[in-house]
A and B are shown apart, each in its own frame.
Chain A
């Protein structure tokens, strides 16, 4: 009797997970593996019509990509976005989380919802809105800065400012998400720790540095890794706001992959670029996990 129950559950279990496994297998794992194979071929526009035209070329795509100055430019831009935009966004999230979590704050739920609002908006739509906010002559931003005595900046038209402008938009769009995760992290800091520190006469700042920050360690790791992974995939903002310009200052690795693959139909080269990006993202993740472990010991 028991045997048949087990067999029945075994069958039911597999039947229940089968649709998900088939879908994820066919439309995710198979393409990922196919992409790896593709990256070692010269799959191009002719092969799109006749896949048997593609030939194995070994590491040629990787060698070519790494020898292409445009790739390094795009990687540099992407890293700038990751290394400047990431910390800025995490800092903004932490400040917002501390503000809404303060015991003195009235209507914390209302502020939390407002700060979270940009997260749910459609990226393409708000990128278009920000393009007009950044407009050098009539834009709201330069007008507001003018009120503070700052001269107009050609945000999206000047190669020095364009990536910073995109970072600003990204921080505004995303800080609410990490704020929420920090709020959850702050709630799990034991109250006794604060009370003990207060008894020791610690100032609010020293309580923040010695109690709050260390307790948030795992939250920082999670937020840091997720933000980094998201930032490496920067695509829609520059696509809509600058088309990668001016002077290629906002061309990112994913944009390069998109252009190679879907504009020039060099699928082999596009796949190689995607895998290089994947390896860099993986390395970044492992690096952060390692730093976190060393910081703790």
Chain B
């Protein structure tokens, strides 16, 4: 019983911390349902007096945010699918296929991890401009298609694949691509899920690159559109909160659904240190 007091204190701190952490998100949801102007009153209201979905209707019917929602979805889904194929092929090959120059090439790739993305943004913009890819979805997807971190993650996981399994398939006459497709991919599925969540979240949440490469409002992703709306509609607190909910909800749901896979990926990131 001597532990009762510390336990109580510990949980007091934990619950307080959890409430503080959730408070901004809960207020965002609550304010998004408030009637016009109610979020700007003193003392602040915590709950809407008469909940309304007007601001959500406004966003989709008047401001056409559905268009940007679709853009974000397209960019994030395509980034995820392409990166899954490209990174898993490379990660598996670096782990399991013996080819000359493998180690040197892999080490060269790791160099990219210390170079911040900003260093390549200006020239990449010029390069894409020359290729006619500025203000296209392809331009927005390009930085996510292949990633050193993704390759690294797949490689770490694929290292534990037993060689006998692969060699047995070779003896049976299976080609290398068939082995990758029919044997390797199903076995490494857990790490594929992790990678998929990672890429989807970073593509969905990214701001700076789509801000640079997309110039046409009809092609904006949600974060870029939202940043634009927020300077036009500073006074419409409730409307902006509804826009924030629409932007945040898909990624929070995805996280809640696949959190085990995602959290494993974060832990794996720390292994490389």
Contacts and interface: CB of A to CB of B under 8 A. Distances in A.
B75 interface: no
B10 interface: yes
B273 A129 contact: no
Given A132-B237, A132-B241, A17 B205 contact: no
Contacts of A226: 273
A185 B270 CA distance: 9
Contacts of A111: 14, 17-18
Interface of B is mostly: helix
A184 interface: yes
Contacts of B256: 113
Contact of B270 (A26, A31, A113, A222): A222
B104 interface: no
Contacts of A172: 21, 24
B126 A267 contact: yes
A289 B227 CA distance: 38
Say whether chain A's binding surface is mostly helix, strand, loop, or mixed.
helix
Interface in B152-210: 170, 176-177, 180, 201, 204-205, 207-208
Interface of B: 3, 6-7, 10-11, 13-14, 17-18, 21-25, 27-28, 31, 39-44, 85-87, 89-90, 92-94, 97-100, 102, 105, 109, 112, 114-127, 129, 142-143, 145-148, 151, 170, 176-177, 180, 201, 204-205, 207-208, 212, 222-224, 226-227, 230, 237, 240-241, 243-244, 247-248, 251-252, 254-256, 259, 262-263, 266-267, 269-270, 273
Interface of A: 5-6, 8-17, 19-21, 23-24, 26-32, 34-35, 38, 48, 51, 96, 99-100, 102, 104-106, 111-118, 120-126, 128-133, 135, 137-140, 143, 172, 176-177, 180-181, 184-185, 218-219, 221-223, 225-226, 229, 232-233, 235-236, 239-240, 254, 257-258, 261-262, 267, 270-271, 274-275, 277-278, 281-282, 285
